[in-house]
Structure formats: structure tokens, C-alpha cells
Amino acid sequence: MPHLAEVTIDQIHEAGGRIVIEARSGRDRAACPDCGTESGRVHGRYRRQLGDTALAGRPVVIRLLVRRMLCLRAGCARATFVEQIPGLTSPHSRYSPPLRKALTAIGVALAGRPGARLARRLGMPVAHPTRRCSRQLSRIARRRRPRP
Ligand SMILES: [Zn+2]
């Protein structure tokens, strides 16, 4: 699971039929996205949830303890920032990179509601399994189809 290489896994358990991976960053410091200055000063923490690819047909959720850091560079316009985990998170993403890749493949092959149904059957957690997922898969499929 290379997308989990940069995190420390605290616990893996089952809840509500899903496999839950409790994890946190394995690094002490994070770089400010505006000025690049590394900071180890934590302003706060919260849990963020990412869907991941299924394990043995069972949905997987990564519950990541995320830190909001203080930028220490005088003059940087960004006072605080949320750390990103290389290879795992990007701002506002709700899916791990492997799950995003799998959903993209399903979206290209099937799109719409059939794609959403297949993703659900394969144990891929989607936030809103009907309309939102269908729209997302359709959008991905439109982008990937070659134009005539
Ligand atoms: Zn900064």
C-alpha cells in the first residue's frame, strides 16, 4: 500500500461493515504551501476521512488525524495551513489516489448509474451513491473519451 507509506498507522479495526484505518502523518514537520517554509508548530488537529480501495470486497476508510500548522515565516500571508500527506492527500479530496484511479476507470468504462452500481458492488465507498457519484463518473468519462 504505497499510498500509506508516509503515514503512521495507529489502528485497523472494523466498524459498520467497513475496515477503518486510523492513521496520522509520519513526519514532524510540514511545508507551507505558499512560502515553502517548514514548520513543526501545530495549531490544531482534526480527523479527515478518505475512502480507499476495497480489501477482499469490503469497503475501506482511512481516518486521518490531520494537523493545522502555523507558518513561521514573518511576512507570509498564510498564518496557518493544513498539512498534506505526499501520495495520499490533496486539498478537499475525499478519495485516496488508488480509489480515485479505480473510480476513474469505472467512470470511463460505464459512467452514470451503472458505474455507480458497479463501484458500490466492488466495495468502493462513495459519498452520495446515487446522484453525486453518477454525475462524477459521467464527468470523468466525458473528459477521458477521445473526441471524434
Ligand atoms: Zn508560509
- How confident is the model over 33-92, as pLDDT tens digits? 999 999 999 999 999 999 999 998 899 999 999 999 999 999 999 999 999 999 999 888
Per-residue model confidence (pLDDT) at position 130: 47
Å from CA of 80 to ligand 1 middle: 8
Cα 60 from Cα 72, distance rounded (Å): 36
> H/E element holding 8?
strand 7-15
Residue 143: CB atoms within 10 A of its CB come to 10
Provide the residues around ligand 1 (an ion) whose CB is within 5 A: 32, 34-35, 71, 73, 76, 78
On the question of pLDDT at 129 being above 50, the answer is no
Q: Could you tell me the pTM of the whole model?
A: 0.78
Average pLDDT over the chain, rounded to whole? 85
Cα 104 from Cα 95, distance rounded (Å): 11
Instruction: Give the pLDDT band (50/70/90) at residue 110.
Output: confident
Exposed/middle/buried for residue 138 (C-beta within 10 Å: 0-12, 13-18, 19+): middle
Å from CA of 36 to ligand 1 middle: 6
User: What would the grid cell of residue 129 be?
Assistant: 451513491
Å from CA of 32 to ligand 1 middle: 5
Question: Is residue 3 a contact partner of residue 97, using CB atoms and an 8 Å limit?
Answer: yes
Which residue(s) pair with 14 in the sheet?
19
Å from CA of 45 to ligand 1 middle: 18
Å from CA of 68 to ligand 1 middle: 13
